[in-house]
Structure 1
């Protein structure tokens, strides 16, 4: 369960840090509790094939040197110095010395780390079940080790054996313009990043080939060359290389089938390593399986020519019931050998249904979206609209608790996962999934602690761990009720000041930037909400001063958001970190400044001053009011605007997807989706931009002797039920910011209780953007 940030005072955070520091001291302890490896040499088993033998040596020595400046020497001599020995469990011996006895064999990719002795000297064994397992063992060693300038230590008497729970643990890294940073990366950056992902347990990487070389101004090399370089990197680290390659969008077109095969074959031929080809059934594409299946079968034959052990995988994304039945009937009756497995992605049939219907001979892979915050697979829960409007769909989003919850809920149906990602902003989430894929029972704090220890250093790791969890707490519920946001910033500012050497670390940069961004939005939200309150107070005097003057004075208050600015020091820090991120990893946080692909792709700078009140809507409404024929009409409309969210004593209003809705107990699949129009610059009322498809609202303590009217705003249909009974409307408008009204029979609320629900209209044939939704609900006492 998520911690309530309101309950965590600065003092309680202080004691948490003290406790964590005490645990760190106990772990690292005095020197006699630790094995000193500062002068250690390492031995690599000669049974490891070249060049992988060189790879494991490079990984160990380079990662240690980066953090300690120690240059570890390689040896084949067991005499004298402390040794780190890298071996495989099937090695009978390493240069004449037998391996330690093991009670049981390691499973595939597993490892053992063991402190032992040889002729009185210390030996730290890192033993892999196979070559991959050896790398995972090195990864755990590096995450456990105490590394600082000139020092390398691990706890004495280590004896750790571990093997992965899930066979498939990977992430998508599409070298394309859509990603908010990767199109600016070099081969060397991808090599280092893939290495780091492996050290945290990943074994698969998925690219998205066939990108136009002219599609991004950031490309360091031609994407057709990067496709091959990524394959080579995967071969270097002995991990799997996948590609996401949609079929032609309409296979019924003449020549589409053949052209798709030709394009794929050219790629297969130039790719040195390829293990999996994932073809989404939809998103993109609307092909019926009767056309898609023959294409996939032919594609498998092309693939086998160049990569005999590679497999074809397909998803049923966007499939309706008829298409789904067709596909599974085909598998049941034909049991084709050309198909390796099924992928479940966003808009696929439910995991449990696919798992049940999939014949056992096929593998089942999950394709979860861990990169987006709204309009996505796993939207942020109880996210304040102010964050949705400004941070948008691809901000830095470390959410260990949310993603651990979804992992443990969903992944068990599958044989593993390759996550959907579109940039560097979800780096913490990738590590959470890789490590839970290794062991789903792991403690989240330990995972994040090892992340911080490895990337930021032992000294800062405990506090940085708390600070990352604090960033997730920032997003829990209404911003103005979240007292932890300022404390989170204070914690990151303290770390920022204490550890200036981390200012060039891109992971650090994006986390600190988020802390400043969140705090700035809270300051602006409080300020702009106050301005709208003052504007409404002016509108309350409209009959005294006249409609025209009331609108003019109200606008004077609202426009202070642009002329009398707040918290500009926080905003400036956001821009400084955005510049640093662009220089370090090419992160594109703005469309005009850094040439982001589009407004939705991480362009958080472009929305940092997006109105957080209804200023734009009011400006437009006032222009409409000025054109009304009479003063009375103008005054009536101004009064309606003023009381829109404040309907009076005994009445109630709910913005149904707002984090502070009082009577809404439901959440949709997109719990805080908002209307995306005009590239995110919608001028509609803020409540109109939020919706649920079928909200549920609950009221108690109503006056059973009074008449009530239920008013609904939204789009399309609203099939409303009150305490289970369908109500008939007296007004039924279907457009945005129009209204439906339903008189509420007194006999339905005899006990003062009311539950409002909405039946779903039959709109499966419509894109979700065209389907009916509810934005606002009023219960008006007459």
Structure 2
């Protein structure tokens, strides 16, 4: 199915989860009644949330009462209530008892004579709040009015007990370090209303580490704990052990710092200590530290648990850890966390004794150099949007959720900013009910945050943004259509202009469209430069270089689509004002170029002009015209090896013969803060790609050429080949003659064995960037 057809189908879908019709229950004049069995602070919280969130959407301020005299009553009660202010709480349907499971709820419309009661019956106080969240997500609201379907009866409870997100109040995050306590309170509330029950902070931040801090980090650590207590959400912290526990007193100093923090927190439920990333401690040192840490933790928070990950553990460390669990059976450990660079998740689950819980720590915030890369992401986006852009990917993250979640008891996701807001809601809701249709989840997201009038179009717009990233940008017709859809909504709904979620989605539509316009233009200029180089034998190398540069320089002097670029900058300014989003290092003091600084790369070259400029300088220094001509011809034909030959930029979205996906998202060379002058193809790679070819000439001689870095242990149709040339640097070459007897059927599959490089940092490990099949 082509992307254009898919987009048309998306436009034709009705994402509404609400049965539309005239027979509605009007709650505009309802009163709120709350069971006295809901204990404080949650009794105050549930009433306040319902009143305030309805008020924001309707300007109606519902009042709280303690009797049933109103014509319409919203009753917030517990399943265990025998009666509430003299009225029995419904427990049966068609004669059968309804039992709501932990954290679950029932929303029931009941007629009481001429009166209406909307029951929100929670299995516990959390269940009441989750029921309110569902009501707010499905209600039809507008100024002065709130309605729901008549005769509603919804029973729901979460599938996974752990559903949360990391919110590190630190400079690394690209927006949260600019937030106030009130902003965090509202944001945690909204996450809870979509099913989250846990929030993880990263304490011990230096107050001078961020220019954006409005609250001292030590104070915010406590305030976040108080917010979690207010919403009865679990408060977690991510706290690495001292980097080297062999250092004298490191163990004791680590415990001392942690104890001071535990004593300050009114609520603390989980302490996650990563085994690596950061830290290089052997489990023989880490385990005693964790054991002592658990004693300190229980002193202040008896019900809290210690969790650890095996990130970066080699086989020996993994064996040591699980042997310890087997022989010592410690009660101080609550569970194991699976994160990037942990042992395979199915192995962890199999080796982990049943008494311990298994938490998932998925990265839903990054696009490259991360846990989950954007599959076959066009390089134009990888080089400009970078690692932390606004990245709504409901379909992709639904697939990834189902891939591994079954090995776990739930998740607290890794996040470093507000740009992944859609993905958080997708995970929270799938953690509640993994069988949900993600289109319905996104519809409720849009209705809740943008309103019923725009919900259906905005839902289509979010799915369209995801399709912008599917396949080569040059051929992606959806990008233009997506922009048109968001521009239409931008004009129709000016009241959303100050909504930060709206701002970042509209900005993405403009950004993608600008990159496509520039990519088309700059690729065309590069093609014209190559046409000039083809004439070098006639006009001379000096003139060929100068004439080619004239075309290449137009990318910087004759600019395109500046109206689209200006809209991106306008929305970036709006986002900085609304939530402190730091989209530039120089303009908004982003932590670094990798941390959401999309403005700093919006004009990064999308052709090879920087590389060509450097190569031309090298050509000029060659001693003879013959050598200059040969080098220019090599440059011109780098990606165009001629008829009967093949070339692939390994990780490019338009690689025709690559059948593998990127390894752990390490598919984008990062150097010089992202401003590399290397060939674009050199900046994308895989560690061990797979390529497949058909239609080779069985009688011809072929040479396989590989570029990349380090080793390339190449196999052709399963047979390891011997190289005749084996250079290991960037933009150097390895060459392997291809035996004819391997391609008698005209088919070829190339694979690469992984060298033994576990001892190396991933940035130093071997990778492949370009592969040629050259017909001799």
TM-score, length of structure 1 as denominator length: 0.98
Q: Give the corresponding residue for 1:375.
A: 369
Q: Give the corresponding residue for 2:630.
A: 636
Deviation at 1:745, TM superposition (A): 1.3
The answer to whether structure 1 residue 42 and structure 2 residue 36 are counterparts is: no
Q: Give the corresponding residue for 1:572.
A: 566
The answer to whether structure 1 residue 506 and structure 2 residue 496 are counterparts is: no
Q: Which of 527, 530, 535 is the equivalent residue of 1:533?
A: 527
Gaps of 5+ in 1: none
Q: Is the 8 A contact 2:335 2:356 kept in 1?
A: yes
The answer to whether structure 1 residue 97 and structure 2 residue 75 are counterparts is: no
Q: Give the corresponding residue for 2:5.
A: 7
Distance 1:432 1:85, change over 3 A: same
Q: Is the 8 A contact 1:381 1:672 kept in 2?
A: no
Deviation at 1:80, TM superposition (A): 3.6
Deviations 1:494-537 (A, max 9, x none): 00000000000000000000000000000000000000000000
Q: Is the 8 A contact 1:138 1:199 kept in 2?
A: yes
Q: Give the corresponding residue for 1:680.
A: 674
Q: Distance in 2 between matches of 1:50 and 1:34?
A: 33
The answer to whether structure 1 residue 68 and structure 2 residue 58 are counterparts is: yes
251-260 vs 759-768, which moves further: 759-768
The answer to whether structure 1 residue 215 and structure 2 residue 234 are counterparts is: no
The answer to whether structure 1 residue 439 and structure 2 residue 439 are counterparts is: no
Q: Which of 370, 388, 396 is the equivalent residue of 2:390?
A: 396
Following superposition of structure 1 onto structure 2, how do residues 717-728 of structure 1 map, counting pairs within 5 Å? 717-728=711-722
Q: Is the 8 A contact 1:711 1:778 kept in 2?
A: yes
Q: Which of 217, 233, 238 is the equivalent residue of 1:244?
A: 238
Q: Give the corresponding residue for 1:55.
A: 45
Q: Is the 8 A contact 1:385 1:672 kept in 2?
A: no
Q: Distance in 2 between matches of 1:49 and 1:212?
A: 37
Q: Distance in 1 between matches of 2:641 and 2:4?
A: 29
Deviations 1:654-706 (A, max 9, x none): 11111101111111324571110000011100111111111111111111111
Q: Give the corresponding residue for 2:106.
A: 112
Deviations 1:703-722 (A, max 9, x none): 11111111111111111111
Q: Distance in 2 between matches of 1:232 and 1:779?
A: 62
Q: Is the 8 A contact 1:657 1:671 kept in 2?
A: no
The answer to whether structure 1 residue 294 and structure 2 residue 288 are counterparts is: yes
Q: Is the 8 A contact 1:28 1:146 kept in 2?
A: no
The answer to whether structure 1 residue 185 and structure 2 residue 179 are counterparts is: yes
SS of match in other structure, 1:160? strand
494-503 vs 717-726, which moves further: 717-726
The answer to whether structure 1 residue 85 and structure 2 residue 83 are counterparts is: no
Q: How many residues align?
A: 772
Q: Is the 8 A contact 2:486 2:509 kept in 1?
A: yes
The answer to whether structure 1 residue 29 and structure 2 residue 21 are counterparts is: yes
Deviation at 1:650, TM superposition (A): 0.7
Q: Is the 8 A contact 1:509 1:580 kept in 2?
A: yes
Deviations 1:326-365 (A, max 9, x none): 0000000001111111000110011110000001111110
Q: Distance in 2 between matches of 1:746 and 1:361?
A: 58
Q: Is the 8 A contact 1:658 1:672 kept in 2?
A: no
Q: Give the corresponding residue for 1:487.
A: 481
Q: Give the corresponding residue for 1:733.
A: 727
Q: Is the 8 A contact 1:165 1:439 kept in 2?
A: yes
The answer to whether structure 1 residue 657 and structure 2 residue 612 are counterparts is: no
Q: Give the corresponding residue for 2:314.
A: 320
Deviation at 1:50, TM superposition (A): 2.4
Q: Give the corresponding residue for 2:469.
A: 475
Deviations 1:265-285 (A, max 9, x none): 010011110000000000000
Q: Give the corresponding residue for 1:361.
A: 355
Deviation at 1:13, TM superposition (A): 5.3
Following superposition of structure 1 onto structure 2, how do residues 156-235 of structure 1 map, counting pairs within 5 Å? 156-235=150-229
Q: Give the corresponding residue for 1:746.
A: 740
Q: Give the corresponding residue for 1:625.
A: 619
724-733 vs 441-450, which moves further: 724-733
Q: Give the corresponding residue for 1:592.
A: 586
Deviations 1:221-247 (A, max 9, x none): 100000000000000001100000000
Q: Distance in 1 between matches of 2:405 and 2:99?
A: 26
SS of match in other structure, 2:581? coil
Q: Distance in 2 between matches of 1:509 and 1:80?
A: 41
Following superposition of structure 1 onto structure 2, how do residues 271-290 of structure 1 map, counting pairs within 5 Å? 271-290=265-284
Q: Is the 8 A contact 1:251 1:292 kept in 2?
A: yes
SS of match in other structure, 2:770? strand
Deviations 1:736-767 (A, max 9, x none): 10011111111111111111111111111111
SS of match in other structure, 1:779? strand
720-729 vs 247-256, which moves further: 720-729
Q: Distance in 2 between matches of 1:526 and 1:80?
A: 64
Deviation at 1:592, TM superposition (A): 0.2
Q: Distance in 1 between matches of 2:582 and 2:247?
A: 37
Deviations 1:275-306 (A, max 9, x none): 00000000000000000000000000011111
Q: Give the corresponding residue for 2:540.
A: 546
Deviations 1:248-272 (A, max 9, x none): 0000011111110010001001111
Gaps of 5+ in 2: none
Deviation at 1:6, TM superposition (A): 2.8
SS of match in other structure, 1:504? coil
TM-score, length of structure 2 as denominator length: 0.98
Deviation at 1:407, TM superposition (A): 0.5
Q: Give the corresponding residue for 1:263.
A: 257
Q: Distance in 2 between matches of 1:237 and 1:695?
A: 47
SS of match in other structure, 1:701? coil
Deviation at 1:119, TM superposition (A): 3.8
Deviations 1:603-634 (A, max 9, x none): 00000000000011001111111111111111
Deviation at 1:53, TM superposition (A): 1.1
Q: Distance in 2 between matches of 1:414 and 1:15?
A: 37
Q: Give the corresponding residue for 1:711.
A: 705
Q: Distance in 2 between matches of 1:292 and 1:679?
A: 34
Deviation at 1:101, TM superposition (A): 2.2
Q: Is the 8 A contact 2:171 2:209 kept in 1?
A: yes
Deviation at 1:481, TM superposition (A): 1.3
Q: Is the 8 A contact 2:371 2:665 kept in 1?
A: no
Deviations 1:360-413 (A, max 9, x none): 111110100000000000100110000000000000000001101010111110
Q: Which of 325, 329, 333 is the equivalent residue of 2:327?
A: 333
SS of match in other structure, 2:603? coil
Q: Is the 8 A contact 1:4 1:473 kept in 2?
A: no
SS of match in other structure, 1:117? strand
SS of match in other structure, 1:154? strand
